[in-house]
A and B are shown apart, each in its own frame.
Chain A
Amino acid sequence: MTIINRQGMHARPAMQIVEISNRFKSGIKIRKGSMVVDAKSIMQVMTLEAVQGTVLVFEAEGADAGEALNALAQVVAEKFQED
């Protein structure tokens, strides 16, 4: 997924990612190049430094993995209700 909102993934969008991820039982990881972080940890998600245009790969593993990825894709596509 590409981060498309102008301000990038700053604290508020990052918290949205973390909150959505924590609604699901699946383990969820976010990959940026060779870097991998736990999508359920705000401390880790904020180290992605995801500016506008950054490509992030979301990976979920578990019974509700599909649902989780759909929810995450939606919030990214909606620019976290910004712009």
Chain B
Amino acid sequence: MKFQDFICRKALIANLEATTTRGVLEEMVAALVKAGKLSESMHKGVLDTLTSREKKATTGFGNGVAIPHVKHKAVTELIGVVARSSAGVDFAALDGKPVYIFFLLLSPPDKPAEHLKAMENIFRNAQKEHWRRFLQQADSAEAIWELLVEADEEAIV
């Protein structure tokens, strides 16, 4: 699966304003609502589910990357968005370091294989140090999108 298959281009955030876990999730969900990917009525439910998921166990998996994700019954297709914080956010990451890059993924509960495919793509690319570094420096939505497309194209070769 490619980033272009599930990442919402219109909701990309190059400069997060939030400085807290809840704030980051709120800003990213709001961007998806604004882009028309989530309805206004789903806003709070999705946000609460994401927040309680983070409380149970952080998705700040290390190296400045967090991958907040939930399966939600109101979601009918994979929805993803990427955000970047230039200052870094204390997301209670496993390695204790600030998080600069966020991949948020919402999946329908009845499609576990699709969910794992999208996660595989995110985790595989997030391991590439140079790619992470470029993403951390991407200061426009367009720059983030170009890096996602580049990762997709590398996967084809």
Contacts and interface: CB of A to CB of B under 8 A. Distances in A.
Contact of B57 (A8, A12, A46): A12
A51 B71 CA distance: 15
B57 A47 contact: no
Is the interface on chain A under 10, 10 to 19, 20 to 34, or 35 or more residues?
Answer: 10 to 19
Contact of B69 (A11, A47, A48, A50): A11
A12 B69 CA distance: 11
A38 B59 CA distance: 19
Contact of A42 (B61, B113, B124): B61
Interface residues of B, number: 20
A44 B62 CA distance: 12
Interface string A54-79: 00000000000000000000000000
B3 to A, nearest CB: 15
A44 B63 CA distance: 13
A6 B112 contact: yes
A9 interface: yes
Nearest to B122: A46
Interface of A: 6-12, 15, 42-44, 46-52
